[in-house]
Homo-oligomer: A and B are copies of this chain.
Amino acid sequence: MTHSIAILGASGYTGAELIRLIDGHSAMQIKALGAYSKAGQSIAQVFPHLRHLDLPDMVSFDKIDWSGIDLCFCALPHKTSQEVIRDLPKTLKIVDLSADFRLRDPEAYAQWYGNPHSAVEMQGEAVYGLTEFYRDDIAAARLVAGTGCNAATGQFALRPLIAAGVIDLDEIILDLKCAVSGAGRALKENLLHAELSEGYHAYAVGGTHRHLGEFDQEFTALAGRPVHVQFTPHLVPANRGILATTYVKGDAQKIYDTMAQAYLNEPFIEVLPMGEAPSTRHIRGSNFCHIGVIKDRIDGRAIVVAALDNLTKGSSGQALQNANLMLGVEETEGLMMAPLFP
């Protein structure tokens, strides 16, 4: 059985990644591609790398006939997404890649995003899309909110440890190194090749990055008491990849055992042998996440390092994994391709 798919906001990087992945999927077919400024253009114009595919042209959203669509991926900017999704048919399954439905608490949303939510009634309905931890809810959901790519990486490194109570909840530091495609295709000076190549730096330092809203929500719910991590993202001169270096306090061996046990049967999460650290070069273009646990020379401390591809496992791959569950397809379908190396 083939499911009919639409993508709104198809002209950005996550849109391109969705198309790439769905092209290799045995049970999905793209029926509509929605875009704003690039509406009216063919796939060859918007994405010359996809010119060999037989795909519909980009159209404005009002031109899409929803009657035959089973599931819609929304790869729209934050704030736009909630307004668009609010007006989509109520029977349509939706995977939202924006930040709009990640936070269940309207006040938390308003605090982190600076505006009141315009589809508050749907916030409660949305399921948080971190597949490995919300499988059943996602399978039953109509609306799934894809996680932030940084938020996903940090949670893969920390959730099992917080759940098992093997680390000090008040002493968690997350130092992330993010590749530039995570910032999207926006025209900003600091995303220019001339600025970024040979120039890397921290940003949103001091706890102002919006993905902290997700960390707070998820870790607090998991621990049953407030957990606030310290989180500093860095922009590095690479296109794909997130490397999360996590500093935790606890027994390293216990941490390792907890981690290895938690992900034992997960198809996409690879826990490396104790003491090994992952590299972004080993997950590029794939849906895999590599996690390493290393004991520090200081007793009672450990470093947990997680690596994934922000556009795949951190965004569009996760979205497809969730869509598979929502449509009753094998969860790994279309997602098992090996990383691209070098």
Contacts and interface: CB of A to CB of B under 8 A. Distances in A.
Contact of A49 (B52, B181, B281): B281
Contacts of A114: none
A207 interface: yes
Contact of A340 (B189, B237, B285): B285
A201 to B, nearest CB: 3
Interface in A185-239: 185, 187-189, 191-203, 205-208, 212, 228, 230, 232, 234, 236-239
B193 A189 contact: no
A48 B279 CA distance: 9
Nearest to A309: B340
Contact of A281 (B51, B199, B238, B290): B199
Nearest to A170: B298
A280 B53 contact: no
A207 B297 contact: yes
Give the interface centre of A195, A205, A303, A340 by most chain B CB atoms within 10 Å: A340
A101 interface: no
Contacts of A49: 281-284, 286, 338-339, 341
A240 B237 CA distance: 12
B19 A195 contact: no
A198 B181 CA distance: 12
B230 A247 contact: yes
A297 B191 CA distance: 26
Contacts of A277: 201-203, 205
Interface of A: 13, 16, 19-20, 23-24, 47-53, 173, 175, 177, 179-181, 185, 187-189, 191-203, 205-208, 212, 228, 230, 232, 234, 236-241, 243, 245, 247, 267, 270, 272, 275, 277-286, 288, 290, 292, 294-298, 301, 303, 305, 307, 336-342
